[in-house]
Amino acid sequence: MINVLYVGSVSACFELENNLPYYCENEYTVTLDGTEVLATNTNVFSLFSLHPGREYTLCVTGNEPIKFTTKTETCAVSVKDFGAVGDGRHDDTAAIQTAVNCLPAGGRLFFPEGTYFSGSITLKSHIILNFSENATLLGSGDPEKYPVIPGAVQDIVTGEAVQTGTWEGNSVPMHSALLCTEYAEDITIIGPGTVDGDAQHSRWWVNVKDREIARPRLIFFNRCKNVTIHGITAQNAASWQLHPYYSENIDFFDVSVNAPKDSPNTDGLDPEACDNVNIIGCKFSVGDDCIAIKSGKIDLAKLYEKPADHHTIRNCLMQFGHGALTLGSEIAGGVKNLTVNRCVFNKTDRGLRIKTRRGRGKLCVIDGVLFENIKMNGVLSPITMNMWYNCCDPDRFSEYNTTREKLPVDYRTPFLGKFTFRNMVCENCEVCACYCDGLPEMPIDDITVENIKFTYSEQAEPNFPTMKNNNTKLCRAGMYFDNVNKLTVKNVEIIGNDGEALIANNVGSLIKE
């Protein structure tokens, strides 16, 4: 069965319905109106260079043909008609911005083959950016090309704050992204070309902790809705690659996100306090978390009370990076209605990674989360739940955040509810199979680990399972749980571990089958 994920005016994305993570069983061919156009073995595939307003017949090996019709558009214009050169040296910023400004609603701005050297570009509502094959938007390394956006400005009539800039869960000044949009709607960015921050040839990755103004993201959407990013390669951002912020109805289909493994804070995709986000068929290889779902720190959470809601992550490939799929740590608004399935994780430090801490607040409620049908290989620690995360906060070494004593529950205390991990194969683990560490005053409420097989690498080396104070390195450890109300372990196989397969401290109810 073939699911239609997206059909635009000149591109479309489809998904094979099966129970296999990311890859299907065999390579298949795709024909369009009787002509073979693609051979692949991934569950998600895309078509480009289609014609607007036309019906097509799609055939995939072993499936019945389906018909689809591309959308219409008001116009399609080339960025070169506005003076863009595309030689990788000439500054095309003004030409690209002029083209965006002039584009009618429903129009498509086309980037033909070339390298378009540019600073920050501000997008607007009701437009399509189309990067053709071998077309690259190449970011400048000059900070002056990325205007500083304040964290918030004051409405001169009402005195209320208008939020504009952000970094790591706080409203603070930041450099504008290479592609930046605020308070807009109906925006589409499609490939198969590339958006490249080129940070490796700049000073953006040098002395990152000493910067007073947050580094630019590659693509940033603030309080936007109905945004689709399809088929592009996004890479080498100064910081996070893709960052939708307090936005809704955001789709990422068949996107590739790349950064060197040692690059600082180059998260792949960080939806923050967003509603209805689909991340399907995407591929990540980055220097930090591949996907990190966030909802701000405590001040923004109290101001807006906006959780990360209705997120679906499916048929994705995550490689390298600190975490394949992460919740937090700036998660003070909470997370609900999250499903992650049919994904492959290769050689990430952690697989499914939940990180929070005292001080995220009572609105930090993460509940009803399902992770299933996932294959991991070479992941150091496949499952981690850490309520003692010790990074990114001035008070991270304080007594409040280090003591293992039971503290009073108050407005600063987060809550982790029900989590289900099931139907997984985790091969060549190194540090541990599972490490879940709750707070003594607020244990993790309910964890189910079901139908999972863990095996270990013969070359495993000791390392830290999570990032917390008073840490201890482990190697080929089994499953560790501390401060959990209810724990269910069903049909879990652990092969090659050193020491006990299951350690359960301060667990209220343990069901083992």
pLDDT digits (tens, 9 = 90+) for 133-191: 999 999 999 999 999 999 999 999 999 999 999 999 999 999 999 999 999 999 999 99
Element (H, E) at 418: strand 418-429
The DSSP secondary structure of 297-357, one letter per residue, reads -HHHHHHH---EEEEEEES-EEEESSEEEEE-SSBTT-EEEEEEEEEEEES-SEEEEEE--
Q: Which residues of the chain have pLDDT under 70?
A: none
Which residues are known to be catalytic? 288, 322
Cα-Cα end-to-end distance for the chain:
35
pLDDT digits (tens, 9 = 90+) for 290-319: 999 999 999 999 999 999 999 999 999 999
- Inter-CA distances, 58 with 12, 70, 163, 477, Å: 11, 12, 45, 49
Domain ranges, ordered by start, for the chain: 2-69, 73-288, 307-513
Read off the tokens for 305.
Answer: 């009370």
**Residue in this structure with the two tokens 């912020």, named with its chain if needed:** 245
**Per-residue pLDDT at 343:** 98
Q: What is the CATH number of domain 2-69?
A: 2.60.40.10
**Per-residue pLDDT at 35:** 97
Q: Residue 174: beta bridge partners?
A: 149, 214
Strands 283-286 and 256-258: parallel
**Per-residue pLDDT at 337:** 95
**Per-residue pLDDT at 464:** 97
**Residue in this structure with the two tokens 């495993």, named with its chain if needed:** 460
Q: What pTM value is reported for the model?
A: 0.98
**Per-residue pLDDT at 392:** 81
Read off the tokens for 176.
Answer: 């504008």
Q: What is the CATH number of domain 73-288?
A: 2.160.20.10
What does the longest C-alpha to C-alpha distance in the chain come to?
A: 69
**Per-residue pLDDT at 393:** 87
